[in-house]
Structure 1
């Protein structure tokens, strides 16, 4: 399997895809960019698609690219916090259920709506 770095830069007609040591192509949307780049690489280098892996790196401008990095990091931290909270809630719900509390009482005990309790326990 060969890994190709693809630098996607927004322009008026879609996304310019620069692939070092291969060439330049384009995609109308970022969603199609990986498959378009893979097809281009295979055509240029006579490779089979299953042997090509694409590392897509989209760029808009320096400020927005940096903000995207920060946003992704914040989302990752938030996701991790939700997983941690869900594990603690499941442990607590198990204990409270064992103590004889019904789900509506458990939700009230936690100070969350019953639907939110179901979401947290279901994760």
Structure 2
């Protein structure tokens, strides 16, 4: 089910809300958009508003792109961190498989012996 959409745009002193079938509405804080918009929609009998609303913030092309780019960079960084952690576990296991001690592995990888122990035990889970 598609929820009714509210588009919020910055205006002087707050946010202007564009709600299909209704005139413009205004809120001071962006955090109030969902509740205020939903209340207006329910009062106007907008179908689906009893289940919630979708809020789209429109900051204009330049800022929308910057937000999208920053959000994507965060997703990419998280993915890279997960991949790096998996590679660290595999490398730790490989070094152990070559007969190295936990202290040697820690020295080689530049991590603590405790971290080596965690990586080795997490691989066994």
TM-score norm. by structure 2 comes to 0.66
Q: What secondary structure, in the 3-state scheme, does the structure 2 residue paired with 1:56 have?
A: strand
Change (3 A) 1:38 1:16: same
Check 1:100–1:68 CA distance in 2 against 1; reply closer, same or farther (3 A cut): same
Structure with a larger share of its residues in strand: 1
Q: 1:61 to 1:47 in 2, by over 3 A?
A: closer
> What SS class does the counterpart of residue 31 from structure 1 fall into?
helix
How far did 1:58 drift? Answer: 0.9
Identify the residue that residue 30 of structure 1 maps to in structure 2: 30
Match of residue 19 from structure 2: 19
The residue number in structure 2 matching 1:10 is 10
Q: How many residues align?
A: 114
- Note if contact 2:9-2:16 (Cα within 8 Å) is conserved in structure 1: yes
Q: Residue 29 of structure 1: CA displacement?
A: 1.7
Runs (4 or more) in structure 1 with deviation over 3 Å come to 46-50, 90-100, 105-108
TM (normalized to structure 1)?
0.67
Unpaired runs of 5+ in structure 2?
none
Query: Larger radius of gyration, structure 1 or 2?
Result: 2
Contact 1:7 1:18 in 2 (8 A): yes
Task: Report deviation, 1:101.
Answer: 0.4
5+ unaligned residues in a row in structure 1: which ranges? Answer: none
State the Cα distance separating 1:106 from its structure 2 match. Answer: 4.6
**For residues 40 and 96 of structure 2, what CA distance do their matches in structure 1 show?**
58
- The 8 Å contact of residues 2 and 51 in structure 1, kept in 2 or not, is answered as no
